[in-house]
Amino acid sequence: MTQSGASRLRVLWAGWRKSYVSGETYPEENIQSPPASSIFESIFTGESDASTNYVLYEGTFCAAILNKYPYVSGHTLVLPKRAVPDLTRLSNEENAELWEITNKAVKAITEAYHPDGINVGMNIGKAAGASIPEHLHVHCLPRWEGDTTFLTSIAEARMIPETLTSSYQRLKEVWPAG
């Protein structure tokens, strides 16, 4: 605490995410802007290849995909196929399927990773921390006792111990049927 009684807020910068969430184009990096739909919608409209987007499960209204920018291995996103900014705008069918698939994601993460715990949550709206506020998504992450390493604490970096392809295969192998 400072003398004024307020603690000093540390800012952790993740500038590498800016082009991903805003759709900016950088010719030198060959990053292309997404189509008019949300970056998630393009996965399910045939505008991009589902296999290269690590789609773990696709239902009628919602799906589960591996997060391409994970906080830990196995970081899964469950989302409606259409861009919906908040829970109140989901249809009854989307709402039911979103939570059904979230339950499957938790089961798959538990089976594949045997974590000490699992975080399940969402940030609704930009002010709540949503990086893609126009398309809600549920984060499902395995967690372990003491999984914050010195890299996160000191170097402000994360170390992901497996490739996205490895995480994808691991979760696909144990994804619950049905």
pLDDT digits 0-9 by tens, 30-83? 434 434 468 888 888 776 666 688 999 999 999 999 998 888 899 999 999 999
Residue 173 — φ and ψ, nearest 5°?
A: -65, -30
Residue 166 vs residue 8, higher pLDDT? 166
Higher pLDDT, 11 or 162: 162
Task: Give the number of other Cβ atoms within 10 Å of residue 49's Cβ.
Answer: 9
Check if the beta carbon of residue 160 is closer than 8 Å to that of residue 70: yes
Query: Which member of 75, 114, 135, 137 is catalytic?
Result: 137
Nearest to 159 by CA among 55, 70, 54: 70
Contact (CB, 8 A) for 98 and 88: no
139 is catalytic: no
- The set of residues, in sequence order, having a beta carbon less than 8 Å from that of 167 and lying 6+ positions away, is 54, 66, 70, 73, 74, 75
For residue 15, what pLDDT is reported?
58
Per the DSSP assignment, residues forming a β-bridge with 55 are: 65
Count of other CB atoms within 10 angstroms of residue 56: 20
Rounded to whole angstroms, the Cα distance separating 30 from 23 reads: 12
Beta-ladder partners of 140: 76, 120
Give the integer Cα–Cα distance in Å for 110 and 103: 11
pLDDT, tens digit, for every residue of 76-111? 999 999 999 999 999 999 999 999 999 999 999 999
pTM, full prediction: 0.75
Give the least confident one: 71-75, 98-102, 134-138, 143-147: 143-147
Tell me the C-alpha to C-alpha distance, in Å, between residue 17 and each of 3, 74, 105, 143, 159.
35, 19, 24, 22, 16
Report the top-level CATH class of 35-174: alpha beta
C-alpha–C-alpha distance, residues 137 and 135, integer Å: 6
Quote the mean pLDDT of the chain: 81
Tokens of 42: 């393009």
